[in-house]
Amino acid sequence: MNNLSTLMRSRVECEHLDLSALAFESIRRGRRIRRVRYAGAGLATAAVVAGVAMGAAALPGGNSAATELQPATGSTFAGPAAPVSPTLKSMGGPQSAERALDPRGIPLASGESTAATQPVPLVVSSPGWKCGAPADWKMECSGPGGRQVVVTVRAVAGYQEWVTDPDKGAGSRGVTTAPHGDYFATIQGNSKTAQEDLHALADSLHWK
């Protein structure tokens, strides 16, 4: 006669599972869970932002967010890109939202194209990767296997901050290129993009 504990151990002691297959399939399904979670968070954020923007527009005398982001240069450009990105602000550039800036923080001359239409001074030429049109000195690039990166051109004045601040380029996430003239670039990827991919992309950049 045995107690239940002994009987249970006796019953399942020969039961085994292919643990490698289990880990592989769990990671695959777990990634889907993460994607759904991130997508939900993104939608929630977008809903909050939209709600705040609508609330601000509804206030007496208030302007819509889109209106505030319009450059006051008389340019006919009406795209979504803000003339002053948070990145540029953090690098000590002019804080005014009235003028479009290049990555060095220099206001563009009146009539000069805004950041959204200004071509970035580099080209990504890595096999298998395709990049969209640059916007606000950023380029989104897609690679094989769902890999995605954002290449951002930044003013060289902020380089030391990027290579020493652990919250920026000195951390383990992303890659910071060496300075090239007045600029340098940072590359950050999604969860499918390994650090080696980022380094390979950094090596493939051609500066104009």
Partner 1 sequence: MGNTAADHGEFASFVHATGTQLYRTALLLTGDHHLAEDLTQTTYAKVFGSWRRVHRAENPVGYARTILLNTFLSHRRLRRSGEQPGRTADVTETLADSADGATSDADPSTRVDLLAALARLSPTDRAVLVARYWEDRSITETAADLGLSETAVRTRSKRALERLRPLVLDLSPEGIM
Residues 51 and 54: their CA atoms lie apart, in Å, by 5
Nearby residues of 28 by Cβ (< 8 Å), 6 or more positions away: none
Q: Is 58 in the site for partner 1 (CB under 8 A)?
A: no
Cβ atoms within 10 Å, residue 106: 14
Residues 199 and 208: their CA atoms lie apart, in Å, by 19
Of 91, 100, 198, 201, the one binding partner 1 (CB under 8 A) is 198
Q: Based on CB atoms, which residue is closest to partner 1, 113 or 190?
A: 190
Residues 33 and 134: their CA atoms lie apart, in Å, by 31
Minimum CB–partner distance for residue 190 and partner 1 (Å): 8
Q: Based on CB atoms, which residue is closest to partner 1, 21 or 58?
A: 21
Max distance between CA atoms of the chain, in angstroms, equals: 93
Stretch that binds partner 1, among 31-39, 58-66, 114-122, 138-146 (CB under 8 A): 31-39
Of 117, 126, 142, 190, the one binding partner 1 (CB under 8 A) is 190
Of 124, 189, 201, 202, the one binding partner 1 (CB under 8 A) is 189
Of 3, 145, 166, 167, the one binding partner 1 (CB under 8 A) is 3
Q: 85 vs 7, 123, 177, 199, CA distance in Å?
A: 66, 21, 20, 25
Minimum CB–partner distance for residue 35 and partner 1 (Å): 10
Q: 113 vs 92, 120, 138, 165, 193, CA distance in Å?
A: 22, 12, 15, 32, 33
Of 93, 107, 121, 174, the one binding partner 1 (CB under 8 A) is 174
Angle in degrees, CA 98, 101, 102, rounded to 5: 175
Q: Based on CB atoms, which residue is closest to partner 1, 29 or 208?
A: 29
Give, as one character, the DSSP assignment of residue 132: -
Number of residues that bind partner 1 (CB under 8 A): 41
Stretch that binds partner 1, among 63-71, 101-109, 121-129, 167-175 (CB under 8 A): 167-175
Which residues lie near partner 1 (CB under 8 A)? 1-5, 7-12, 15-17, 19-20, 22-23, 25-34, 37, 172-174, 188-195, 198
